[in-house]
Structure formats: structure tokens, C-alpha cells
Amino acid sequence: MGRLNDKVAVITGSGNGMGAVAARRFAAEGAAVVVADSNGDAAAQVAAEITSGGGRAIASQVDVRDSAAVQATIDSATSEWGRLDVLYNNAGVSPSGDGTPVETSEEIWDLTFDVNVKGLWLCNKAAIPAMLESPSAKGGAGASIINVASFVAHLGAATPQIAYTASKGAVLSMTREIAAIYGRQGLRANALCPGPVLTPLLAKFMEDEAARQRRLVHIPMGRFGEAEEMVNGAVFLASDESSYMTGQSLLIDGGITSAYTTPE
């Protein structure tokens, strides 16, 4: 028996990277998955991999900044499987032009907040009515919203990225508000806060060894995380195992938030 048997999940940004790892893992744990991504071909490929392996998945092309497209993605879950138990807001951007408050342009700031904050809000706005009607909310362990934030929402980033860091702080606040509003209606909301993981988003900051070491020195475990390790936390938050957890920030960060630095 999988840990997510009979659950239906929408995972944004799941055409590649950590989101694709999550889509495959959720399906392996028994969930039916809407693989949602701005790259429709990538989403279709991940969904096809899942179904060819015996899992349940459909693809949806969505720009999370487009409210109509977001609503269509949520509707695809309920029309295909009749319910929505889990919303995993994984989609996000970290533009290369994001730096200090002085260096960062308005265009970079607006793009980052449009995707990471407004896009996440639009996904919650569309999904919550369906989730409140799910069997999980009506009498189970609770429907589950997983909003991906970051360890930088708790700490300043060693490499300046002011728009990204501020946007992820907003994600934490939004998550707490959602949890407070809907806790008595069978809906849970938690933030997943990954530490440094060598996804494409982080790799661009690791172009030389000095930049790599500048990050590693702050991590007590002395290594970057793996996408699978972050998804382990998401499976927990999506499952009934986290039935008494809401409004929280789950840090999976190799200890980076526990110490300012780790000298040799």
C-alpha cells in the first residue's frame, strides 16, 4: 500500500527538476497526479512515463500567472478523478539578474513576485474550493496544501537574491494565513523549505568553485541536498501521517539554519 493511495494531487512546475521527481514519487506512492508545467511537452513526457509504469497521471500546460489556465488545471483533476486532495505548489523562478536591493531591476522583482507569490496565490485560490469538498477534508486527515518556500525565507542568502528571498518570505506568511483560515474545515497548509539543492535554479550560482564553497561552508552536513530528500518531506506533508500539522515550515536543509557558519 502506498502512502498516498486514493489521493489526487496537482503538482505545479513538475515537468522537470524537483517537481518531476515529486510527480513520479507521488504516483509511485499511489496518488493520481496532474503534472502541471509551463512547458507542455515536458509535462506530457513526465505524465507518459508515469502511466507507462502503471501509475495514474495527466498533463496540464499552465502558466501560474494566468488565472484561467490555473483554473483549467484544477478542473482537469476534478473532472478526471472527481476530487482534489493535495495541491503541491512547486513552480517558481529565480532569475539570474536577481542580486542586491541596489542591483536588482524592477523587471526582475516583478517577474519573481508574479510567479512565486501571485502565481502561488492563484493556484490556492482555484484549488481551495475543490479541496474543501474532497473526502480528505470531509472526514479524513485533511486535504493538504504544500507551498514550496526556501531556507532563505528564514535566513539571508549568502549569495544576494533579494527578490527571491523576499518572495519566499511571502510564501511563508501566505501559508500561515491559509492554515489559520481553513483549519476547522479540514484543510491543512504547510510550507516546504528546501535547503541548497543542486537543481538548475541553484546550479547557475555554482559556476565556479569559490561560489560552491561559499555555499557549502554554511551547511553543517557539508553537502548539497538531493531532490529526492526534499520530496520525502513533501510525501509526508501530503500523507495522513501529517494529519495534525498545519501552518508550519518544514525545513530540510542539512542544518544550514541551525548555525551561522561551520568552520573546519
- Flag whether 1 is in a domain: no
- Flag whether 94 is in a domain: yes
Q: Which of 98, 259, 230 is nearest to 165 (CA)?
A: 98
Catalytic-labelled residue, pool 88, 164, 244, 260: 164
pLDDT score, position 218? 82
Instruction: Name the residue range of residue 241's domain.
Output: 8-253
pLDDT score, position 260? 65
- Flag whether 243 is in a domain: yes
Q: Where are the alpha helices (DSSP H) in the chain?
A: 17-28, 40-52, 67-81, 106-113, 120-132, 135-139, 162-182, 200-203, 209-216, 227-238
- Flag whether 202 is in a domain: yes
- Flag whether 244 is in a domain: yes
- Flag whether 262 is in a domain: no
Per-residue pLDDT 10s for the chain (264 aa) are 799 999 999 999 999 999 999 999 999 999 999 999 999 999 999 999 999 999 999 999 999 999 999 999 999 999 999 999 999 999 999 999 999 999 999 999 999 999 999 999 999 999 999 999 999 999 989 999 999 999 999 998 878 999 999 999 999 999 999 999 999 999 999 999 999 887 665 665 556 677 677 778 888 888 899 999 999 999 999 999 999 999 999 999 999 998 865 555
- Flag whether 24 is in a domain: yes
- Flag whether 264 is in a domain: no
pLDDT score, position 230? 97
Domain count, the chain: 1
Task: Give 19-22 contacts, CB < 8 A, sequence gap 24+.
Answer: 19/88, 19/90, 19/91, 20/46, 21/227, 21/228, 21/231, 22/88, 22/90, 22/231, 22/234
To the question of pTM greater than 0.85 for the whole model, the response is yes
Cell 517577474, residue? 111
Whole-number Å distance between alpha carbons of 108 and 214? 24
Q: How many CA atoms lie within 13 A of 85 on its CB side?
A: 26
175: number of Cβ within 10 Å: 27
Task: Give 102-106 contacts, CB < 8 A, sequence gap 24+.
Answer: 103/160, 104/162, 104/163
pLDDT score, position 216? 81
C-beta of residue 210 within 8 angstroms of C-beta of residue 156: no
Q: To the nearest whole percent, how much of the chain has pLDDT over 70?
A: 93
CATH of residue 97: 3.40.50.720
Active-site residue, 182 included: no
Q: Helix, strand or coil for residue 236?
A: helix
